[in-house]
């Protein structure tokens, strides 16, 4: 039986009262020395430090202990930097003693070889037995910059100490450090976890903790693979409930990336499409690169969007105004219409040759008339119709640009509307540093600005539409282990199952003789579809196992033909007879609904129109289950080919309600049998005109054997 996710409170890990450093050393350049220095010299840690080193009495002014067993108390955090072969006994002792968390920096475990894998498994076993939770191994540790406290061997820790409200959860260390170094443009961070092999605690646990941490405004994750998909989904749901945006960059969107990530962290990278589906559904903002993650994070530290924000562009160069407006347009953003009083004020302070409607081009008065420049940006930022001011700054003009930057800081004091500079010169002069230090963290490219603002607003839209009562099936049930054997239901079996769950299907009957086929056909009347029934034959039409538009009088002969074709094509296949059902009314549109079990995120539904739309244009939409009728309507609306359903070229609008209900019923069916159902393909689904309904014409269901 699956147990719902429980998340341990990680406060003692990120805000410990006592720390032991096993392997603490005074030897310069050693890992144990770097780790001690980071705590003793570069942190403001007010708790107790216990160096553990059997060869020393004191380490860096703190009394040392020979081993964990000798410590006077059970510490909150045990940092472990001893070689791999000594780690297990250390954790054993720490666990027995009742310590809360072990942060294992040491490498040489599951990422290395068979010995390491076995050793790591033993650590997990100790954790389960004693209750000590493990962070790592094979990781650079973690930092809490709001103390600051660095439980890390990184010699770079001391250089990246800008505190703030952005929390980072990464697996590897290098790319996390990259994000942290956005402090060079004024970004501040609260906590950073970089959890390496994740033998116990993982990104999901940190996201859950960050969601509840009052010092965190926005959460950024960078993952090569999710160790536990449902746990992550539960954590992301928690962040949604707490109103905190999660920004995600997932490696593995190409085969090269997936292969490299797999060899780097031994993670299952999973399907990129499924990952994007999960992110989108849980409001995790997917980004394409690290700088984009930081751009979006920065916006959230400035304001929480509603979803309908309008932007103003404030430039001092006509070219920059045009190019910025162009990016506003290509990103699908909306320029605000300035209120009359804003236009009046701008007309007053700016020269006649300036552009005062949105986008604003002050022209070179930023150089010649600094007061007018300041007055103008204040007027722009206080415009009642504007939600965010974008200020492109194409070049560094030394002192003039610095003065402009200063004006932006002053203008920001007059309003809550964020003023966001875009410093897109590669040269970062005094003006740049003025902005960074003054809290107006600049974007670094116009294109990224457009993408980031778009994502920021879209999150607001997502949040206002998200149903907090919805919980992914996998959070309730987890992901079942892949089936060792599977069985494909016959069409008749599959349709009976679906019918029992309320999915509208054709009501087929199976004839086992030509005579019976004739009787059934006569009873059904009208044109019939006839298909072979055999568990061994799935591609029925390929082997002549399907005949369409059969008149009742021809049904008996058709039975014989189909049986003969099937017998010839697959001589040893057991044939259970021939299925008969009425032909679908002509003129319908064909859709399909598929469900497959992803090894990371469980059952995911794929929906679209059939044929060329999926095959040529990849025009499909996906969702984790459960999918309600309302959610199914949204899925339909996301298709490019949705127009075909809403009345294309004089065709009648299709019965969308019925189609959405069918999709929801399919979801219900899978939810009710999630352990058993491996895969399902309902294709085609006939979609009639409004009022005519929707009907599953074929169904292939694969279940555990």
- CB closer to a second copy, 305 vs 392: 392
> Whole-number minimum distance, CB 651 to a second copy, in Å?
11
575-634 positions binding a second copy, by CB under 8 A: 611-612, 615-617, 619
- CB closer to a second copy, 427 vs 523: 427
**CB distance 300 to 217 below 8 Å:** yes
- Single out the residue of 62, 264, 310, 536 in contact with a second copy (rule: CB under 8 A): 264
Query: CA 399 to CA 392: how far, in whole Å?
Result: 17
- CB closer to a second copy, 321 vs 674: 321
Pairing of strands 620-624, 546-550: unpaired
Other Cβ atoms less than 10 A from the Cβ of 296: the count is 24
| Residue 299 binds to a second copy (criterion: CB under 8 A) | no
Q: Where are the alpha helices (DSSP H) in 144-289?
A: 174-180, 203-212, 229-241, 255-265, 272-282
Of the listed pieces 176-184, 234-242, 370-378, 595-603, which binds a second copy according to CB under 8 A?
176-184
> Whole-number minimum distance, CB 224 to a second copy, in Å?
6
179-238 positions binding a second copy, by CB under 8 A: 181-185, 222, 224
- Contact flags string 7-26 toward a second copy, x per CB under 8 A: --------------------
- CB closer to a second copy, 575 vs 642: 642
| Residue 506 binds to a second copy (criterion: CB under 8 A) | no
| Residue 687 binds to a second copy (criterion: CB under 8 A) | no
**CB distance 536 to 543 below 8 Å:** no
Q: Is 469 exposed, middle or buried (0-12, 13-18, 19+ CB in 10 A)?
A: exposed
> Whole-number minimum distance, CB 28 to a second copy, in Å?
14
> Whole-number minimum distance, CB 372 to a second copy, in Å?
18
Q: How far is CA 335 from CA 204, 322, 357, 411, 417, in A?
A: 38, 12, 10, 20, 15
- CB closer to a second copy, 121 vs 259: 259
Query: CA 643 to CA 637: how far, in whole Å?
Result: 9
| Percent of residues in the chain assigned helix, strand, coil, to nearest 5 | 40, 20, 40
Pairing of strands 677-687, 388-393: unpaired
**CB distance 79 to 135 below 8 Å:** no
Other Cβ atoms less than 10 A from the Cβ of 151: the count is 26
- Single out the residue of 253, 433, 536, 704 in contact with a second copy (rule: CB under 8 A): 253
- Single out the residue of 74, 161, 260, 557 in contact with a second copy (rule: CB under 8 A): 260
The half-sphere exposure of 424 on its side-chain side, counting CA atoms within 13 A, is 20
Query: CA 420 to CA 443: how far, in whole Å?
Result: 7
Of the listed pieces 142-150, 354-362, 457-465, 630-638, which binds a second copy according to CB under 8 A?
354-362
- CB closer to a second copy, 481 vs 616: 616
| Residue 254 binds to a second copy (criterion: CB under 8 A) | yes
> Whole-number minimum distance, CB 215 to a second copy, in Å?
22
Which neighbouring-strand residues pair with 677?
A: 703
644-683 positions binding a second copy, by CB under 8 A: 644, 648-649
| Residue 640 binds to a second copy (criterion: CB under 8 A) | yes
> Whole-number minimum distance, CB 199 to a second copy, in Å?
17
- CB closer to a second copy, 396 vs 458: 396
- Single out the residue of 200, 205, 361, 598 in contact with a second copy (rule: CB under 8 A): 361
| Residue 321 binds to a second copy (criterion: CB under 8 A) | yes
> Whole-number minimum distance, CB 168 to a second copy, in Å?
13
436, two tokens? 């960074």
- Single out the residue of 211, 323, 530, 546 in contact with a second copy (rule: CB under 8 A): 323
- CB closer to a second copy, 448 vs 534: 448
- CB closer to a second copy, 355 vs 480: 355
Query: CA 221 to CA 355: how far, in whole Å?
Result: 41
**CB distance 389 to 314 below 8 Å:** yes
94-123 positions binding a second copy, by CB under 8 A: 111-112
419-478 positions binding a second copy, by CB under 8 A: 424-428, 444-447
Instruction: Number of residues interacting with a second copy: please give it, by CB under 8 A.
Output: 86
DSSP letters spanning 36-85: HHHHHTS----SEEEEE-TT-SEETTEE-BSSGGG-SS--SEEEE-S-GG
> Whole-number minimum distance, CB 397 to a second copy, in Å?
6
The half-sphere exposure of 85 on its side-chain side, counting CA atoms within 13 A, is 0
| Residue 353 binds to a second copy (criterion: CB under 8 A) | yes
57-76 positions binding a second copy, by CB under 8 A: none
Query: CA 657 to CA 693: how far, in whole Å?
Result: 8
Cite the beta strand spans of 98-228 per DSSP E. Answer: 101-104, 133-135, 141-144, 149-152, 163-170, 189-194, 218-223
> Whole-number minimum distance, CB 256 to a second copy, in Å?
4
Alpha-carbon Rg of the chain, whole angstroms?
31
- Single out the residue of 143, 175, 405, 579 in contact with a second copy (rule: CB under 8 A): 175
- CB closer to a second copy, 50 vs 443: 443
- Single out the residue of 53, 170, 336, 477 in contact with a second copy (rule: CB under 8 A): 170
3-state SS assignment for residue 54: coil
- Contact flags string 278-297 toward a second copy, x per CB under 8 A: ----------xxxxx-x---
3-state SS assignment for residue 171: coil
**CB distance 691 to 497 below 8 Å:** no
| Residue 343 binds to a second copy (criterion: CB under 8 A) | no
Q: Nearest-CA neighbor of 120 among 200, 194, 228?
A: 200
- CB closer to a second copy, 100 vs 252: 252
Query: CA 583 to CA 591: how far, in whole Å?
Result: 16
- Single out the residue of 245, 305, 394, 518 in contact with a second copy (rule: CB under 8 A): 394
> Whole-number minimum distance, CB 303 to a second copy, in Å?
22
**CB distance 666 to 594 below 8 Å:** no
- CB closer to a second copy, 371 vs 486: 371
350, two tokens? 């700016």
| Residue 178 binds to a second copy (criterion: CB under 8 A) | yes
- CB closer to a second copy, 216 vs 315: 315
CA distance between the termini of the chain: 20
Query: CA 193 to CA 182: how far, in whole Å?
Result: 16
**CB distance 620 to 607 below 8 Å:** yes
- Single out the residue of 263, 371, 549, 646 in contact with a second copy (rule: CB under 8 A): 263
| Residue 171 binds to a second copy (criterion: CB under 8 A) | yes
**CB distance 336 to 358 below 8 Å:** yes
């Amino acid at each position: 039986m699956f147990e719902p996710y429980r998340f341990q409170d990680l406060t003692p890990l990120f805000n410990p009262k006592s720390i032991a450093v096993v392997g603490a050393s005074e030897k310069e350049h050693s890992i144990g020395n770097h780790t001690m220095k980071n705590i003793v010299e570069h942190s403001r840690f007010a708790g107790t430090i216990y160096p553990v080193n059997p060869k020393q009495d004191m380490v860096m002014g703190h009394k040392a202990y020979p081993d964990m067993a000798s410590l006077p108390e059970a510490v909150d955090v045990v940092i472990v930097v001893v070689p791999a072969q000594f780690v297990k006994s250390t954790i054993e002792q720490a666990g027995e003693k009742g310590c809360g968390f072990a942060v294992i920096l040491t490498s040489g475990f599951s990422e290395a070889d068979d010995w390491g894998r076995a050793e790591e498994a033993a650590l997990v076993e100790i954790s389960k037995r004693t209750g000590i939770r493990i962070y790592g191994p094979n990781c650079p540790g973690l930092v809490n910059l709001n103390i600051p406290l660095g439980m890390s061997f990184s010699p770079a820790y001391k250089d990246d100490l800008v505190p703030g409200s952005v929390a980072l959860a990464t697996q590897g260390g290098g790319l996390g450090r990259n994000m942290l170094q956005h402090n060079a443009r004024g970004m501040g961070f609260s906590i950073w976890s970089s959890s390496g092999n994740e033998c116990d605690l993982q990104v999901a646990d940190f996201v859950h903790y960050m969601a509840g941490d009052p010092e965190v405004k926005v959460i950024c994750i960078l993952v090569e693979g999710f160790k536990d998909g449902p746990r992550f989904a539960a954590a992301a749901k928690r962040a949604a409930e707490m109103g905190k945006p999660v920004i995600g960059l997932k490696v593995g969107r190409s085969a090269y990336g997936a292969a490299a990530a797999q060899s780097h962290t031994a993670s299952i990278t999973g399907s990129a499409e499924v990952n994007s589906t999960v992110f989108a559904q849980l409001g995790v903002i997917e980004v394409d690169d690290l700088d984009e993650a930081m751009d979006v994070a920065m916006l959230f530290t400035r304001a929480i969007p509603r979803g309908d924000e309008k932007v103003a562009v404030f430039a001092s160069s006509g070219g920059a105004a045009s190019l910025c407006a162009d990016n506003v347009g290509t990103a699908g953003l909306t320029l605000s219409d300035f209120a009359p009083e804003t236009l009046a004020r701008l007309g007053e302070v700016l020269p006649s040759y300036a552009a005062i409607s949105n986008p604003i081009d002050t022209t070179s008065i930023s150089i010649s008339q600094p007061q007018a420049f300041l007055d103008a940006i204040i007027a722009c930022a206080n415009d009642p119709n504007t939600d965010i001011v974008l200020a492109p700054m194409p070049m560094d003009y030394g002192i003039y640009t610095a003065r402009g930057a200063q004006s932006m800081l002053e203008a920001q004091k007059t309003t809550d509307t964020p003023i966001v500079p875009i410093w897109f010169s590669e040269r970062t002069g005094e003006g740049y540093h003025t902005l960074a230090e003054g809290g107006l963290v600049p974007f670094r490219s116009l294109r990224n600005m457009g993408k980031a603002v778009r994502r920021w607003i879209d999150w607001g839209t997502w949040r206002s539409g998200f149903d907090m009562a919805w919980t992914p099936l996998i959070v309730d049930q987890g992901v079942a282990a892949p089936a060792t054997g599977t069985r494909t239901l016959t069409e008749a079996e599959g349709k009976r199952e679906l019918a029992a769950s309320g999915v509208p299907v054709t009501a087929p009957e199976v004839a086992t003789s030509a005579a019976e086929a004739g009787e059934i056909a006569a009873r059904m009347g009208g044109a019939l579809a006839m298909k072979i029934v055999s568990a061994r034959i799935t591609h029925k039409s390929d082997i002549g196992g399907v005949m369409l538009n059969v008149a009742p009088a021809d049904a008996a002969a058709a039975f014989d033909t189909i049986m003969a074709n099937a017998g010839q094509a697959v001589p040893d296949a057991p044939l259970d007879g021939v299925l008969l059902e009425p032909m679908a009314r002509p003129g319908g549109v064909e859709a399909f609904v598929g469900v497959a079990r992803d090894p990371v995120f469980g059952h995911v539904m794929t929906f679209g129109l059939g044929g060329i739309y999926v095959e040529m244009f990849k025009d499909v939409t996906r969702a984790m289950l459960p999918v309600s009728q309302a959610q199914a309507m949204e899925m339909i609306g996301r298709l490019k080919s949705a127009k075909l359903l809403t009345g294309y070229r004089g065709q009648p609008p299709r019965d969308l309600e019925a189609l959405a209900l069918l999709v929801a019923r399919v979801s219900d069916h899978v939810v009710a049998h999630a352990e058993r159902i491996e895969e399902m393909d309902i294709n085609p689904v006939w979609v009639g005109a409004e009022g005519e309904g929707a009907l599953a014409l074929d169904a292939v269901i694969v279940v555990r054997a």
